Amino acid sequence: MSTFYITTPIYYTNAEPHAGHAYTTIAADVLARYHRLKGDEVFFLTGVDEHGENIQKVADLKEISPQAYCDQVAPTFTTLWKRLNISYDIFLRTTSELHKTGVTRFLNALYETGDIYKGKYEGYYCRPCERFFTEKEQGVDKTCPIHKLRLEWVEEDNYFFALSKFQDQLIKHIHENPEFIQPAARSNEILSVLETGLEDVSISRASVSWGIPLPFDPDHISYVWIEALSNYITALGFAGNEDRFQTFWPADIHLMAKDIVRFHAIIWPAMLMAVDLPLPKHVVAHGWLTKDGEALSKTRGIFIDMDADIETYGLDAFRYYLLREFSFGNDGDYRPNRLQARYNADLANDLGNLLNRTLGLVSKNFDGIPEPTTPDSLDNEVIQMAKETISKVDSLMTQSAFDMVLEAIWEFVRRVNRYIHQTQVWTLAKSEDTRSRMGTILYNSMEALRVIAVLISPFMPDTAARIRRQIGLDDSTAVRGLDSIGTWGGLQSGRTIGKPEPIFPRLDIKKRKARDKTSDVQEPQAEEVQLISIDEFQNLDLRVATITEAEKVPKADKLLRLIVDLGGEKRQVVAGISQHYAPDELIGKQVVVVVNLQPVKIRGIESQGMVLAAAGDETLVLATLDEHVTPGTTVR
Ligand code: ME8
């Protein structure tokens, strides 16, 4: 049996997990599940990185011990993984005995090679990164290229690993294994770092106390990165459970975002080379998940409200969106309105309707799964496409091209929908002659759904199970694996089908809107952000107007009646701004007015336009102009 060992980074416990961590972990979960489908023996590692200065600092602020602090944060990760249906095999904590004993053994092995030496480190250090930056790596004015903070000059007695010694060997390895670092752009980046020359790295910190002491000099604590990287072997029981280590090492994939590729593609392989252990087969880096184009940041309040979106769309839709929407190696901007669009178009419409329609017609016209008795060339096209889709998915999965995998599956979903249309299957119940043709088409559609359920199962495990139940299959492994869809015709005619029910029901948009209103962060509301063309935008006639009169509308606590001057013309506008502006302060202000709206009567007063304002839950600020302009000037 083949084995497949996949890892995520072990995440820092200096804060609770966010959507970025979820993104990597869901992707790793998809790969783990896919390899289980293939019948591989899978080991899926995730965990937390609990040592180091940063974590010690947070614990100090909270006035608790670092261990007590980590004991509080680590479960927030496992809780999230449960919520996201992550099928990990081990959740490694670096404070565990398993890890500590493994690190000790690994560091001893490294020491014995003679590639570790004691020396003085002088260099520019970024505390949040917990690493030194060489001159070449620094940003402008000696700043950290990631945090943009000024780097600190630090001098310390440290132990060093002779990284530079492995430079040529690393270059050779990358050239000989072009798939070692994926995608290719990252591989080139690493090669150019290697070609400009490597410096030795310090592997200990004398000034930090929260960590694992070096076994050969316990006054020094191992540098958090050196210790963390070895988690990939300590989790396999490097110091004890030889069997698991022998079975799964080397890892098939180390998965991460592009921020930490250098550690995984340079330092980690060099350490492994030093102790003569095989290198991981692939280091795969994905892009950043951003919100409104900005990096996720708790302190700046830039976050993705996963809970809310999962509640609205369901977990499987959330998982689908993350992997369908973005090309894995590139950055991707998370947009709830795109999630909604995907939900409606791909899930409810394409897949949901295919299932509903097929099962509806089967249950109305047949007693159980019909028999395929009248094969023709159109059927063969669908059968052929199923085969091609299965092999396409397999080859794209090896490139972690999740968006393309899902697109390939959906091309098939859409093809089957078209098959139903082309054959007008719903019209074939009329006569006995055409009923057998109807049975054949519906049988093939159900077979297609069986194939689809297997192919989508790594991405959407619950949806796959629901489809299986509805088409009359049980939940045994025999119907879940890739093997089970190798041959067309696996469904048994005559079998009773399950109860048809919508797998992606219509969304309760009202609930979502109510939620958005109470949420701190205002997300664009999906149905209001349908894109419009430039022509549509140009239909709006926006003009600069000067307010010449303003007064409260009697018995209406929010309304003001304004007279605005548009150059050659004066207009009366009723605006709901009374709680934010006193009439007097408005006189002379220049505002932007929509002048081609149909007039409406508000409290019996005709409003002949609309004044634009920025409106939040508590705030309302009129859109004004930077400088005075002639009234009536067009705004575009
Ligand atoms: O670096 N988009 O931990 P970390 C996509 N402990 N992925 C993101 C992301 C975002 N906006 N933000 C975080 C560490 N990630 C070390 C790792 S491994 C031996 C030690 C994900 O908590 C992504 O996988 O800072 C990234 O590489 C990782 O979280 C960094 O996690």
Atom of ligand 1 nearest to the CA of 232: 19
Q: Kindly state if the Cβ of 229 falls inside 6 Å of ligand 1.
A: yes
Cα 41 from Cα 144, distance rounded (Å): 42
HSE on the CB side for 445, CA within 13 Å? Answer: 32
Residue 3 pLDDT class (50, 70, 90 cuts): very high
3-state SS class at 218? strand
| Cα of 256 from ligand 1 centre, angstroms | 7
> Bridge-partner residues for 118, per DSSP?
159
Q: For residue range 12-34, what is the model confidence (pLDDT) as tens digits?
A: 999 999 999 999 999 999 999 99
The residue to which tokens 């004066």 are assigned: 570
Judging by beta carbons within 10 Å of its beta carbon (0-12, 13-18, 19+), is residue 556 exposed, middle or buried?
middle
| Cα of 408 from ligand 1 centre, angstroms | 29
Token pair for 254: 């180390």
Q: For residue range 88-107, what is the model confidence (pLDDT) as tens digits?
A: 999 999 999 999 999 999 99
Q: Kindly state if the Cβ of 332 falls inside 6 Å of ligand 1.
A: no
What is the structure's pLDDT at 519? 47
pLDDT greater than 80 at residue 309: yes
Q: For residue range 194-240, what is the model confidence (pLDDT) as tens digits?
A: 999 999 999 998 888 999 999 999 999 999 999 999 999 999 999 77
The residue to which tokens 């053994």 are assigned: 105
pTM here is: 0.80
Q: Whose CA is nearest to atom 21 of ligand 1?
A: 21
Q: For residue range 371-402, what is the model confidence (pLDDT) as tens digits?
A: 999 999 999 999 999 999 999 999 999 999 99
Beta-carbon contacts of 430 under 8 Å, excluding residues fewer than 6 positions away, are none
3-state SS class at 99? helix
For residue 131, the surrounding DSSP H or E stretch is strand 131-133
Beta-carbon contacts of 532 under 8 Å, excluding residues fewer than 6 positions away, are none
Residue 508 pLDDT class (50, 70, 90 cuts): low
- Return the CA Rg of the chain: 31
Q: For residue range 426-480, what is the model confidence (pLDDT) as tens digits?
A: 999 988 889 999 999 999 999 999 999 999 999 999 999 999 999 999 877 777 8
Beta-carbon contacts of 55 under 8 Å, excluding residues fewer than 6 positions away, are 12, 13, 14, 66, 69, 70, 210
Task: Out of 7, 29, 49, 284, give the residue to mutate to test ligand 1, the one with the largest number of ligand atoms within 8 Å of its CB.
Answer: 49
Cα 173 from Cα 175, distance rounded (Å): 5
Cβ atoms of 460 and 316 within 8 Å: the answer is yes
3-state SS class at 386? helix
What is the structure's pLDDT at 297? 77
Distance of CA 533 to the CA centre of its chain: 29
pLDDT greater than 80 at residue 536: no
Atom of ligand 1 nearest to the CA of 289: 2
Region class of 546: left (phi > 0), else alpha (psi between -120 and 50), else beta: beta
| Cα of 378 from ligand 1 centre, angstroms | 48
Cα 596 from Cα 296, distance rounded (Å): 41
pLDDT greater than 60 at residue 533: no
Distance of CA 216 to the CA centre of its chain: 42
pLDDT greater than 90 at residue 579: no
Atom of ligand 1 nearest to the CA of 8: 24
Beta-carbon contacts of 598 under 8 Å, excluding residues fewer than 6 positions away, are none
Cα 305 from Cα 319, distance rounded (Å): 14
Q: For residue range 268-294, what is the model confidence (pLDDT) as tens digits?
A: 999 999 999 999 999 999 999 999 888
HSE on the CB side for 366, CA within 13 Å? Answer: 26
